[in-house]
Structure 1
Amino acid sequence: MDFAVFHPYVLYATRYPFSKGQSNNNRHCYSSSLYLITEGRGIVRTCGRTHITDPGSLVYIPAGQPHDWIADSRDPMVHVCCYFDWAHVDRRNLADHPSVICYDMAQLNPSYVGPAFPYAIPEFMRVEKVSLWSDWFEKFYTGNQYENEHTYMRSVKTQSHFLQFMEFFLAFALQDDAIPDHRMNKLLQRLDQDILHGKLQPLETYYEELRISRGYFFELFKRSTGLPPTQYINQFRIHRAKEDLRNTDISITEIAEKFGFSSIHYFSKLFRQFNGLSPLEYRKHQMEAD
C-alpha cells in the first residue's frame, strides 16, 4: 500500500435534517462518508446489516458501499455529515459538483469510486460528547462545489480544519496497533528538530523523559516509524545529505561534517548501505541523469 497517495480531502460537509419517516434508499456515494446523528432517531441499512441510530451514533460508509437511511416517523434524525476522499479523485467529467451520489447500481462508474483506507474502520460507532464532535464538523462545513479563484483561500482553511478532525477521528476509530502511541508523535517532533539543529541527545535522554524502559522505547519507536531509533536517525541524516549531493557542489567531506557524521568513512559506509552507491557515485549518477 502506497501511503504517499493518502491525503484526506473533504468534498462536502453539511447538516441534514430528515422529515418524519423520510427514506433515502440505495445510495452509492462515490466518496467515503461519515455521519454523526445529533438529534432524533432512525436506521441505516448497508450490505444486509441494520443499525439503529440516535444521538451519538457515528456511521462510516466506505466509497461505493450501498446504504439506506430511514428516519423515525415521530422523531426524525438530524445528522451532520461529510463526504471525502482518502486520495484525490478528479470527478469533473462525471458531474459539476465534487460529491456525487448514484442511486442506480447499474449506472455506477467504478473508475470514479474513491479509494479505500488501508486500515479497517468500524462501520458503526458511538461517541460520548456529541456537541464536541458536532463542533468539529461545523468547522469544515462546505458547499458541494469545486474551488475557484474566489473560494480557494476559504477552501485552504476548510481543509486545514478537516485534517485536524481526521487526526482526531482516526485516533478514535482505529485500533491501537494501527496508530502510533501519541507520546511518540511528540517525541519524534522533538527528535527531528534536535537533528536539524545539531542538538541530538543520547537516546536514554528521550526514553527517560517518557519514563519508559529502553526496551519498550525501542518497541514503540519501531511501531511508530518502522525503524529502530539509530537507523531512523541515520536515514534522516542521509536523506538530507542526498539533497546537498544532488543540488550543490559542496565537498563530500564537508557534507559528512555538516550532517553530524563522525567521519567521511562512516558517512560513506552508511550511505552505501542505504543507497547501494557511495556518495561520490550517487553524485555522478545524478549529474548524468540531469
Structure 2
Amino acid sequence: MNNPRTYLDNIYPYVLFAQRYSFAPGQNSGQRICYASTVVLIEEGFGKLHMNNQVYEAKKGVIIYIPPGKWHGWEASRTEPMIHRCAYFDWQHTDRIGFTHQNDYFCYSKSELKEQYYGPQIHANVLIQEYSVVKNINAWLQRFDFFTSSPELLDESYFPASLEIRGYFQLFLHHFIKYMMEPASVMDPRVKKSIEWMNEVSTAGSFDEVDRLIETCADKIGLSCSHFHALFKEQTGFSPKAYWNNNLLLRAKVDLKYSSLTITEIAVKYGFSSIHYFSKMFRKKMGCTPSEYRSRNRIY
C-alpha cells in the first residue's frame, strides 16, 4: 500500500510573491501562463477569466486556483474593474536560474515557453477546485494581509521576516486547500490503485520500459490503454506516462541530493539506457543537468 508520507514529505510550499493588484477599466491581460502556482481572490469589482476554454465570472468573493503552465487571461469591467489579491507560489522549491523579477514568471507566447520552469503540481491524490466563491471575504482578506508584503522581505537578508511571511502563507494555504478540496473528489478507485502500483514499481526504475509497464498497469485494473489514459488524465491532470516519468526524475533528484551513488549509478537505478539520456531528460524537466543540480544541492 502506498504510504501518504511519500508525497506529503515532498510538499513544502514556498511563496514567491504576493500583491494587491488593481485593474484599469477594460484592461485585458491577454492569454498567458504563469510558471508558478497561483491563488487569486477578487476583492472588489467585476470582470472575466478566460480559462479551460470557458469564461468564468470574476466578482467580489470569487477565489481561483491556477496551476502552473495553464493558459488563462483576465478581462476587467469597463465601469467597475477588478481588484485582485494574488499569491504566486511553488509546492516545493523550484530552481529558475536567472529569474529576478515578477515578470519573469509569466509567458505570453507559446514560442517563448520554457516548460522546464514549470513549478510542481500538487500530488494527484489531492484534487483542488479551480473556481469557487468564499462566504466570508473579510476573513480571507485578513489572511492575505498577513503574508502580502514587499518582495524584498523574502530576501535572505530579511531572514526573520521571511520566515514569518512564509509561515503565514502556509497557514493561509491550509485554509485554502481545506476550502477548495473537491467536494466529491473521491478518486476513482482504479486510478488510485494504478498510482499505488506505479509508486511501488517505479522504485526499481524502468524509465525506458514505461510504455510496457503502463500497459501492464491498465491490464491490472481491467481497462484498455486508451480508456486508462483518458481516465487517468481526467482524474490527475497528467498522462500516465508523464506521471511515471516525473515520479522517476523526482526520485533521481532525491538521490542526487542525499545519496553517495554516482550519477551513472543513479541513471542505471532508474532504468535509463545511458547517462547521456538521463542527463537530457533531467535537464528538460529540472532546467539543469544532474551534475549541476548535485553541485548546488548535495547534502550527503
TM-score range, shorter chain: 0.5 to 0.7
Superposed counterparts of 1:28-43, under 5 Å: 28-43=33-48
Correspondent of 2:65 among 41, 57, 60: 60
The alignment's C-alpha RMSD in Å is: 2.0
Instruction: Measure, in 2, the Cα distance between the counterparts of 1:111 and 1:154.
Output: 30
Check whether the contact 1:97–1:146 (CA below 8 A) recurs between aligned residues.
no
Aligned CA distance change for structure 1 residues 70 and 3 (closer, same or farther; 3 Å): same
Superposed counterparts of 1:1-290, under 5 Å: 2-91=7-96, 93-97=97-101, 100-118=105-123, 119-144=126-151, 147-175=154-182
Q: Give ranges in structure 2 of 5+ residues lacking alignment.
A: 1-5, 187-300
Aligned residue identity for 1:96: T
Deviations 1:26-48 (A, max 9, x none): 12101000100010000000121
Instruction: Measure, in 2, the Cα distance between the counterparts of 1:94 and 1:122.
Output: 32
Aligned CA distance change for structure 1 residues 13 and 111 (closer, same or farther; 3 Å): same
- Structure 1 segments of 4 or more deviating over 2 A? 142-150, 175-179
Check whether the contact 1:27–1:67 (CA below 8 A) recurs between aligned residues.
yes
Q: C-alpha displacement at 1:145, in angstroms?
A: 5.2
Bigger Rg, which one: 1
Q: C-alpha displacement at 1:144, in angstroms?
A: 3.9
Check whether the contact 2:127–2:185 (CA below 8 A) recurs between aligned residues.
no
Aligned residue identity for 2:15: V
Q: Give ranges in structure 1 of 5+ residues lacking alignment.
A: 180-290
Q: C-alpha displacement at 1:3, in angstroms?
A: 2.7
Instruction: Measure, in 2, the Cα distance between the counterparts of 1:176 and 1:50.
Output: 22
Q: C-alpha displacement at 1:162, in angstroms?
A: 0.6
Q: C-alpha displacement at 1:174, in angstroms?
A: 1.0
Q: C-alpha displacement at 1:177, in angstroms?
A: 7.9
Instruction: Measure, in 1, the Cα distance between the counterparts of 2:183 and 2:49.
Output: 27
Check whether the contact 1:97–1:144 (CA below 8 A) recurs between aligned residues.
no
SS in 1 for 2:9: helix
Instruction: Measure, in 1, the Cα distance between the counterparts of 2:78 and 2:155.
Output: 41
Q: C-alpha displacement at 1:149, in angstroms?
A: 4.2
Instruction: Measure, in 2, the Cα distance between the counterparts of 1:115 and 1:66.
Output: 16
